[in-house]
């Protein structure tokens, strides 16, 4: 799709673009310069004010450049609100948590809606897409009520889904490390992937044995981190086993062994998760991370977007994979996902922006200072530590720090953003 746009952009030699009068072109430049300056002005203002002293700020009405750059403002606001690192962390947890869940849920559904034949497929797709019509605010009061007392069956369902999401995340990280290590090894070397996995398992296992094992042995109710690390270690061992098996040429025995190994470990891990995790999640999800993240787990727009993208993929590749005996999960992860990388990147950026900035839902369900996300933290800072806009220099420093990650992400990935908008928009 991206290439399609590029092609038509190149072809677009004539078109409307034949305004040749110098005066007209100068006017257009003027409009552009004025409007981009106006748009950029609040950012410039924010940045320069964040580097002024309180006195200079009060005196200056139009001064743009501070006489002395007060970098200390950034230290000062950090000291004024010791919870700021926590706000950043909470926002990051929320944004990445929602992102991972939405990616998994939407891609699985979109794959099924595009490539798998099952009865009622089209009807179910329209049922899923119809959710786009529902404004999210209508769900807030009921969701709040549901969150305040989550029934057990829901908690079990979500524990399993979270378990799958967690394992998928580790799996993707491992694949990513694979590409790095095979790159380091230079050419194709057998057993490299096994070697570094053995090192990893020994390392993680050692930490686990020192930190988590005593806690697990000591009492009935081991701390959550000990149990989580046990689960992670179990998944690493499982992955090591599969990787070892893949070093041998394919045969019936290898296939049977892999299947047995896979089902034994995965079912074991999931059973343990279904048994333990609902208790950690607790009954009241207000003021918790799971409450922040899980109600946003599905994005019907994401399902729609991925289905549109998947439909544009060449069918022959998938058929070839099917003839080779690949199952659906394998086709999704090893053929469809790599082919739709631009779409993935776009979705990732858009989702991170949206949930890093989210304010309404966190405002409703979080209460304690340690659970505040960045947007709420900023607003509270404005009121409590900025005294409703008396200490503007500190407020602007905090603001700049909060905005910086997204703006940097945007200017680095500018091309992706705009191409992504183009590809998603054309289909819309």
Out of 32, 209, 218, 224, name the contact with another protein by CB under 8 A: 32
| Binding residues among 329-348 for another protein as defined by CB under 8 A | 329
Q: Whose Cβ is closer to another protein: residue 142's or residue 219's? A: 142
* Least distance from another protein to the Cβ atom of residue 398, Å: 9
* Least distance from another protein to the Cβ atom of residue 116, Å: 4
Residue 263 near another protein by CB under 8 A: no
* Least distance from another protein to the Cβ atom of residue 246, Å: 22
Q: Whose Cβ is closer to another protein: residue 249's or residue 389's? A: 389
Residue 35, both tokens: 């409007």
* Number of shown-chain residues binding another protein (CB under 8 A): 108
> Are 204 and 215 a contacting pair, CB within 8 Å?
no
| Binding residues among 90-149 for another protein as defined by CB under 8 A | 104-106, 108-109, 111-113, 116-119, 121, 124, 128, 131, 133-146
> Are 300 and 132 a contacting pair, CB within 8 Å?
yes
Q: What is the 3-state secondary structure (H, E, C) of 69-98?
A: CCCHHHHHHHHHCCCHHHHHHHHHHHHHHH
Residue 387 near another protein by CB under 8 A: no
| Binding residues among 157-176 for another protein as defined by CB under 8 A | 157, 161, 164
Residues in Cβ contact with 282 at an 8 Å cutoff, skipping those fewer than 6 apart: 150, 288
Distance in angstroms (rounded) separating the CA atoms of residues 124 and 59: 63
Q: Which stretch binds another protein (CB under 8 A): 15-23, 67-75, 81-89, 313-321?
A: 15-23
* Least distance from another protein to the Cβ atom of residue 160, Å: 9
Distance in angstroms (rounded) separating the CA atoms of residues 195 and 206: 17
Q: Whose Cβ is closer to another protein: residue 14's or residue 217's? A: 14
Q: Residue 230 CB: number of other CB atoms within 10 A?
A: 18
Out of 359, 370, 384, 387, name the contact with another protein by CB under 8 A: 359
Each residue 298-317 as x (binds another protein by CB under 8 A) or -, in order, gives x-x--x--------------
* Least distance from another protein to the Cβ atom of residue 214, Å: 36
Nearest to 131, CA basis, from 160, 109, 151: 109
Residue 374 near another protein by CB under 8 A: yes
Each residue 223-262 as x (binds another protein by CB under 8 A) or -, in order, gives ----------------------------------------
Q: Whose Cβ is closer to another protein: residue 119's or residue 338's? A: 119
Q: Whose Cβ is closer to another protein: residue 239's or residue 362's? A: 362
Q: Where are the alpha helices (DSSP H) in 149-191?
A: 152-184
Residue 87 near another protein by CB under 8 A: no
> Are 293 and 319 a contacting pair, CB within 8 Å?
no
Residue 28 near another protein by CB under 8 A: yes
Q: Whose Cβ is closer to another protein: residue 288's or residue 300's? A: 300
* Least distance from another protein to the Cβ atom of residue 367, Å: 12
Q: Whose Cβ is closer to another protein: residue 154's or residue 195's? A: 154
Residue 12 near another protein by CB under 8 A: yes
CA distances from 6 to 10, 155, 324, 343, 423 (A): 6, 47, 34, 16, 11
> Are 261 and 223 a contacting pair, CB within 8 Å?
no
According to DSSP, residue 129 is labeled H
Q: 156-162: long-range contacts (C-beta < 8 A, 24 or more apart)?
A: 156/274, 156/278, 158/281, 158/290, 158/294, 159/273, 159/274, 159/277, 159/278, 159/281, 160/270, 160/273, 160/274, 161/101, 161/105, 161/297, 162/101, 162/273, 162/277
Query: What is the torsion angle, in degrees rounded to the nearest 10, for the CA atoms of residue 251, residue 252, residue 256 and residue 262?
Result: 30
Residue 356 near another protein by CB under 8 A: yes
> Are 313 and 336 a contacting pair, CB within 8 Å?
yes
| Binding residues among 190-229 for another protein as defined by CB under 8 A | none
Q: Whose Cβ is closer to another protein: residue 96's or residue 144's? A: 144
* Least distance from another protein to the Cβ atom of residue 40, Å: 5
* Least distance from another protein to the Cβ atom of residue 294, Å: 8
* Least distance from another protein to the Cβ atom of residue 110, Å: 9
* Least distance from another protein to the Cβ atom of residue 400, Å: 9
Distance in angstroms (rounded) separating the CA atoms of residues 313 and 100: 23
């Amino acid at each position: 799709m991206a290439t399609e746009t590029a092609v038509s952009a190149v072809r677009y030699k004539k078109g409307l673009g034949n305004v040749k009068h110098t005066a007209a072109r100068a006017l257009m430049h003027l409009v552009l310069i004025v409007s981009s300056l106006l748009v950029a002005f609040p950012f410039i203002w924010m940045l320069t004010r964040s580097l002024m002293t309180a006195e200079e700020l009060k005196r200056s009405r139009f001064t743009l450049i501070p006489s002395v750059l007060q970098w200390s403002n950034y230290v000062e606001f950090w000291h004024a609100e010791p919870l700021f690192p926590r706000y950043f962390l909470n926002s990051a947890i929320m944004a990445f948590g929602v992102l991972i869940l939405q990616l998994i849920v939407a891609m699985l559904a979109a794959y099924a809606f595009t490539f798998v034949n099952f009865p009622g497929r089209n009807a179910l797709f329209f049922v899923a897409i119809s959710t786009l019509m529902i404004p999210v605010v209508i769900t807030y009061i009921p969701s709040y009520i549901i969150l305040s007392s989550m029934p057990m069956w829901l908690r079990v369902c979500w524990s399993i889904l979270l378990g799958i999401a967690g394992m998928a995340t580790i799996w993707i990280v491992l694949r990513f490390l694979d590409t790095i290590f095979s790159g380091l090894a230079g050419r194709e070397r057998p057993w490299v992937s096994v070697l570094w996995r053995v090192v990893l398992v020994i390392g993680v296992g050692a930490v686990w044995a020192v930190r988590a094992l005593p806690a697990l042995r000591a009492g009935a109710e081991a701390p959550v981190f000990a149990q989580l690390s046990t689960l992670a270690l179990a998944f690493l061992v499982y992955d090591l086993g599969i990787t070892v098996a893949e070093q041998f040429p394919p045969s019936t025995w290898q296939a049977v062994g892999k299947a047995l190994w896979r089902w034994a470990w995965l079912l074991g891990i999931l059973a343990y998760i279904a048994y333990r995790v609902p208790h950690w999640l607790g009954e009241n999800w207000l003021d918790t991370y799971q409450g922040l993240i899980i109600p946003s787990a599905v994005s019907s727009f994401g399902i729609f977007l991925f289905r549109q993208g998947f439909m544009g993929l060449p069918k022959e590749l998938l058929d070839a994979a099917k003839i080779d005996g690949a199952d659906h999960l394998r086709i999704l992860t090893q053929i469809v996902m790599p082919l739709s990388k631009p779409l993935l990147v776009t979705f990732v950026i858009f989702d991170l922006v949206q949930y890093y900035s989210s304010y309404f839902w966190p405002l409703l369900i979080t209460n304690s200072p340690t659970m505040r996300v960045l947007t709420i933290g900023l607003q509270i800072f404005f009121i409590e530590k900025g005294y409703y806009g008396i200490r503007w220099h500190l407020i602007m420093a905090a603001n700049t720090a909060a905005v910086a990650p997204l703006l940097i992400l945007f200017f680095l990935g500018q091309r992706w953003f705009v191409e992504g908008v183009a590809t998603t928009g054309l289909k819309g």
